[in-house]
Structure 1
Amino acid sequence: MPNRRLPAESRCRNDGTMPASAPVTATDRSAARPSRARAIGRVLPGLTVALAGALAAVATAALVPGLSPLLVGIVLGMAARNLGLLPERLAAGLAFAGRVPLRLGIVVLGLQLSLKDLAALGWGIPALAAAVVVVGILATVLLGRLLRVPPRQALLVACGFSICGAAAVAGVESVVDADEEETVTAVALVVLFGTLMIAVVPALAGLLGLDARVSAVWAGASVHEVAQVVAAAGLLGGGALGIAVTLKLARVLMLAPVAAFLSWRQRRRGLVDGRRPPLVPLFVLGFIAFVALRSLAPLPTAVLGTASAVQTFLLTTAMLGLGAGVRIRSLAARGGPTLALAACSTLVVGAVGLVGALIVA
């Protein structure tokens, strides 16, 4: 039988290795362009809606003192989804908005943290931040097992409540291969319980007779989101804001080692979506680089202010995209055990934060 010539990708060399891929031709490139154009066309409508909604959320929050634009963003997204205002053609863009801007927002968040400012507060502040994160995550994961909450859901809640809210949920969701519903549930719970903490921490601090510094440290160690810490510290008054935010940012810094550890653990267990996850996600490396930049270089106040505004807008866009994926019926179905876990996690983090504040402040 005559030898038939096999396609290049099916032939091997005599040494058993595969031949190099054929060079990419102009025809191949031109064929790829319509594919990219279609992908952009699918994403653009939903992304545009998310960006416009984020602008509206930021503007609304600016009119109400203490109101977080992230909270407004996720509420807008949830309302639009459950009132049937979002046609299916927006789905791809809204999903994109819930992923990419969130990671970019985490990177820019690094410019808020100066290691020099952290060191100036003494060893107790970073030690307390580490204790809150480690104890909070371990306790929440253990409680999740007792309450029979799915392991990935419990881990997302643990990281969100112990580290830095929605940004931490985003930081670990791709590493642990969480699905969209688990991610949205964790973010919604962060928003709910973190918002409650804005009022609860100052009220309890007053009832317990805590001084301004202890109260500020407690707020920074216990409240979930950076924006929520700012709101709670504003209610405490005095010089609470600087201390509370610095301690909160020390918790944010813990996102890098936690994400790296979870990624390492996932690599040992196997593949995610057919591939090994990176040891440290790229956006976490970007976050670390921006922390280093802020710590080593004297950045103008205008640059830091602009970075803060950009970070808020990016995270608000992401919250709207995530909120648009929330279906109230599905969230309610998860109800009981997951809600109980969130409440218990808040109590654990709050208790560790209070004890630590009494020791180090």
Structure 2
Amino acid sequence: MPPSVVAAPPTAMHRVRQMVPGAVVAVVVSALCVAVTWLAPAAPALLLAILLGAVARGAGWLPPVLEPGLAWTARYVLRAGVVLLGMQLSVGDLTRLGVGELVVLVATVATTFAVTLWLGRVLRVRRALTLLVATGFSICGAAAIAGMSPVADAEEEDVATAVALVTVYGSLAIVALPVLSRVIGLDDRTAGLWAGMSVHEVAQVVAAAGTISAAALTVAIVAKLARVLLLAPLVAGAGVLRRRRHDTVGQRTAPWVPVFVIGFVVAVLLRTVGAVPDPLIDVVKPVTTIALGAAMVALGSQIHLGRLIRTGGRPLVLGALATLVAGGVSLLGLILV
């Protein structure tokens, strides 16, 4: 009998070749979504990207050759996008908000996070998925979900489900918040702050506040960026708690802070001290959008709509309640101050 043949492990170059097709497709689709948004600002690129990924999955348009690259993009390109996002933020952005408004913002983030964790236990939603939903809905959607996913020991399905929930309820907020602002009689500044403090994704905040007015959009972006700055301490705190409880990620101890979150903080500090020149920011902004869009395409491709419908009843309820908490706490606080 001929001796058995043992397959050699794949080389680094072979793994790169496997990832290239899916990664290239994700980037191309993301760039197309950015172009559509440039022509039609009411259609946010990140929302289009994840929707296209989900549609492609549901329609069976994804050949197996794309799978390795899409999985790699969903994990690593998204994290790179988070670091690049930090380069556009400055601690000085917080000075544009009043003390009372900052208190409302922090209270909204803390309340949404804590109540969502409690609701997840009540609804018996998986712990990892609950933590991702709490983080994404209280901070900044998909980028926050990516930041928390290593600490949460989340499976790709949990990440994709959490991002899908952000997409569903953030899209509803784009339509509902401007209408409710007019019904309630909010001035443009208050309406913009409400959008920035309660809507999940940066793109969704831009779409919702931009529908109200340019003044609302300006203050909404400041409030949203202030929420994004809270991502690092929230993820770091969750990592510390998991280590104290001796939780593990796979076979490893849960990290104090994921490496790319440290990169995010460093990028914010570099921007704050003026080490990042404005011409570089003009280049970083579109690169960040395309990177996050590519990751959204990849994450969307991991959303199995049939499975989400069959098993997503409780997560859907959790997302709805988390959205109501964020919107209710922020609105009440803004009215009081």
TM-score by length of 2: 0.93
Do the aligned partners of 1:118 and 1:125 also contact (CA within 8 Å) in 2? no
Which of these residues, 321, 326, 337, is aligned with residue 349 of structure 1? 326
Residue 115 of structure 1: CA displacement?
Answer: 1.6
Cα distance in 2 for partners of 1:36, 1:300 equals 36
- Report the equivalent of 2:115: 139
Residue 299 of structure 1: CA displacement?
Answer: 4.8
Deviations 1:251-274 (A, max 9, x none): 111110111111112223232121
- Do residues 153 (structure 1) and 138 (structure 2) align? no
SS at match of 1:98: helix
Do the aligned partners of 1:43 and 1:92 also contact (CA within 8 Å) in 2? yes
Counterpart residue type for residue 298 of structure 2: G
- Report the equivalent of 1:324: 301
- Report the equivalent of 2:213: 237
Counterpart residue type for residue 41 of structure 1: R
Residue 279 of structure 1: CA displacement?
Answer: 0.9
- Do residues 172 (structure 1) and 148 (structure 2) align? yes
Do the aligned partners of 1:73 and 1:317 also contact (CA within 8 Å) in 2? yes
Cα distance in 2 for partners of 1:96, 1:89 equals 13
- Report the equivalent of 2:4: none
- Do residues 315 (structure 1) and 292 (structure 2) align? yes
Counterpart residue type for residue 138 of structure 1: A
Counterpart residue type for residue 289 of structure 1: V
SS at match of 2:257: coil
Residue 191 of structure 1: CA displacement?
Answer: 0.8
Deviates more, 1:107-116 or 1:158-167: 107-116
Residue 298 of structure 1: CA displacement?
Answer: 6.9
Cα distance in 1 for partners of 2:208, 2:186 equals 15
Deviates more, 1:252-261 or 1:47-56: 47-56
Following TM superposition, where does structure 1 have runs of at least 4 consecutive aligned residues deviating by more than 4 angstroms?
none
- Report the equivalent of 1:265: 241
Deviations 1:242-293 (A, max 9, x none): 2111111111111101111111122232321211232111111111111112
Cα distance in 1 for partners of 2:155, 2:269 equals 32
Which of these residues, 120, 123, 127, is aligned with residue 96 of structure 2? 120
- Do residues 305 (structure 1) and 282 (structure 2) align? yes
- Do residues 98 (structure 1) and 70 (structure 2) align? no
Counterpart residue type for residue 303 of structure 2: V
- Do residues 162 (structure 1) and 138 (structure 2) align? yes
Matches within 5 A, 1:16-165: 35-165=11-141
- Report the equivalent of 2:178: 202
- Report the equivalent of 1:19: none
Cα distance in 1 for partners of 2:63, 2:205 equals 36
- Do residues 296 (structure 1) and 288 (structure 2) align? no
Matches within 5 A, 1:218-257: 218-257=194-233
Counterpart residue type for residue 57 of structure 1: C
Do the aligned partners of 1:214 and 1:357 also contact (CA within 8 Å) in 2? yes
- Report the equivalent of 1:279: 256
Deviates more, 1:273-282 or 1:338-347: 273-282
State the aligned residue count.
329
Cα distance in 2 for partners of 1:92, 1:324 equals 12
Counterpart residue type for residue 56 of structure 1: L
Unpaired stretches in structure 2, ≥5 consecutive residues? 1-7
Residue 105 of structure 1: CA displacement?
Answer: 0.8
Cα distance in 2 for partners of 1:120, 1:180 equals 37
Counterpart residue type for residue 100 of structure 2: G
CA RMSD of aligned residues (A): 1.6
- Report the equivalent of 1:334: 311
Counterpart residue type for residue 38 of structure 1: H
Unpaired stretches in structure 1, ≥5 consecutive residues? 1-30
Residue 114 of structure 1: CA displacement?
Answer: 1.8
Deviates more, 1:143-152 or 1:203-212: 143-152
Residue 300 of structure 1: CA displacement?
Answer: 4.4
Pair 274,232 (structure 1): closer, same or farther in 2 beyond 3 Å: same
TM-score by length of 1: 0.87
Which protein shows a greater Rg?
Answer: 1
Counterpart residue type for residue 340 of structure 1: V
Residue 224 of structure 1: CA displacement?
Answer: 0.5
